[in-house]
Amino acid sequence: MGGCFSSANHKTIPPNPSPASPLAIPNPVDPNPHNGGGGGTMALPYAHVDDDDDIRALAGRAEGFGRHSIGGLHGSVYCVTTLSDDGHGSLREACRKKEPLWIVFDVSGTIQLLTYLRVSSYKTIDGRGQRIRLTGKGLQLKECEHVIVCNLEFEGGRGHDVDGIQIKPKSRHIWIDRCSLRDYDDGLIDITRESTDITVSRCHFAMHDKTMLIGADSSNITDRCIRVTIHHCFFDGTRQRHPRLRFGRVHLYNNYTRNWGIYAVCASVEAQVLSQCNIYEAGQKKSVFRYMPEKAADREEVMAGWIRSEGDLFLNGAQPCLLESAGVESVFKAHEHYPTWTMEPASLALKEVLQISTGWQPVPRPQLTPPNM
């Protein structure tokens, strides 16, 4: 039995963690979201990383399913010295090298990519200390592992199947952190074809339609392995897919999604979505969650996925439109996969913070250090 019920009936369900809870909330704001927060210092993620003088402190520090990503931890530092698409000192030259590398930039500006820039395994692309904008095409993470992408801008990707960051096939241990993405012809971040153990954090998405697809289509039953965490991101007026999920498991927490054009989050065939302490602020379209039934290639029945909403805050008439069924109880428990994550109660204070702290930031580059061997 299901139905679309109003935000008055499902405004917030405070998480109220017990001492044994997996949530890491060392300095919570006012736990009553109706008060708009403000009861204390926010427990935002990665403060220990951002304040570290060692540039390699990022490695292995993601929260969620991508927490094991080490990027180029054990490699030397590669300094990008040109904004050219290719050649000596270019980002493309660094990304194609087979050895681990921690890639930093000695220049700021726009890199016009003529073709997809393929990133090989054990790379960190670290934009801290500069302002780098990728345009024309995007990054392609194809059959790779242990990649970190941090503090970059992606804008104006053109062409069929051109995504800002395309993660497929069979890529794993990926962390996308503090990037700004807007205006690509296909997706901003697409995660498909058995790619898994991925975290997307502190990113700003804008000026786009099909924002984030996770799971290729109903024939790709091997996408059942997909596991993605999306947290502390700002979906700023993007039309749909925040994300749209097939088959896999997605943990959403402390994201702010506003003024969507169709829906906020969609569960297609066999999807499991755990939405915790997110802020959904409607514009003209009020339906937050959507279910799209499809038939898996190895099943007879047509079915959608399941969404469990816990502690989410619905603003400006946003309607959860959650389906109530036995399947909701089968949605995964995050603490069965990782022991801690940094999560605030959804509040107006959190909403304000996410608007200014997501996407590319003018942060200094930490000290360059030799590789940890």
- Is-contact 148 126, C-beta < 8 A? yes
d(CA 212, CA 215): 10
DSSP string for 62-77: --GGGTT--TTTTSEE
Residue of 241, 244, 246, 249 marked catalytic: 241
Contacts of 291 (CB under 8 A, 6+ apart): 266, 267, 268, 304, 305, 307, 323
DSSP string for 214-242: ES--TT-GGGGG-EEEEES-EEES--B-S
Q: Give me the phi and psi of 243, to 5 degrees please.
A: -105, -175
Closest CA to 124 of 69, 51, 63, 168: 69
Residues 243/245/249/251 CA torsion (nearest 10 deg):
10
Based on the residue annotation, tell me whether 241 is a catalytic residue of this protein: yes
Give me the residues paired with residue 3 across strands.
none
Residue 285 has, within 13 A of its CA and on its CB side, a CA count of: 19
Q: For the chain, state the CA radius of gyration.
A: 20
Number of H helices and E strands in the chain, helices first, is 3, 29
Biggest distance spanned by C-alpha atoms of the chain: 61
d(CA 266, CA 249): 12
Give me the residues paired with residue 147 across strands.
123, 174
Question: E strands along 259-340, which residues?
Answer: 265-267, 272-276, 279-281, 289-291, 306-310, 313-315
Local structure of 196: helix, strand or coil: strand
For the beta sheet containing 249-253, the strands, ordered from the edge strand earlier in sequence to the opposite edge, are 76-80, 101-105, 123-126, 145-150, 172-177, 196-201, 227-231, 249-253, 272-276, 306-310
Task: Report the catalytic residues.
Answer: 241
